Amino acid sequence: MNYYIKYLGAFIYLTFVISLILTTITNPGVVTKKYYLENYKADKTIIKNFRICRKCNIVMDLDKGTEHCVECGICIMNNDHHCPWTSKCVGKKNIKMFYIFVGSLAAHIVYLVFALVSLAVFSENLNKK
């Protein structure tokens, strides 16, 4: 039984580390002029709710949640927030990995608390004998 608990801890830790790395290296959905030229001129889609970004000088589609990140200095599609842990924005393309990262972090914390409590109980039982 102890081996399964150790393997579970290793699995949770690896999930945590891999999801952190993938969240960090994945493009969050950076919007460029080329993106809008390729996608909107080809589809002949009219952007109804828009504004021009003062810093990037690109068309920001407000219906898609495009926002300018002050920390990164770029516009991100479906911008959720700028994450200080990954030092990167969380947007349309990396939000799933970010949720896996946060979930595995919470699971890892619960696992560590469980391991420390069980270790304290186990060592107390050894001292009584």
List the pLDDT tens digit at each of the 129 positions of the chain: 577 888 998 999 999 999 999 999 999 988 877 766 666 655 556 667 777 888 887 877 777 788 888 898 888 988 889 999 888 999 999 999 999 999 999 999 999 998 888 878 877 766 666
Closest CA to 29 of 66, 77, 70: 77
Per-residue pLDDT at 21: 95
Per-residue pLDDT at 97: 95
Which residues belong to the active site? 83
Both tokens of 80, joined, read 């959720």
- Helix boundaries (H) for the chain: 2-25, 33-43, 95-128
Per-residue pLDDT at 6: 84
Per-residue pLDDT at 38: 61
Closest CA to 30 of 83, 82, 93: 93
Closest CA to 101 of 80, 72, 78: 80
What is the distance in angstroms between the CA of the first residue and the CA of the last residue of the chain? Answer: 23
Token look-up 């696992």 returns: 111
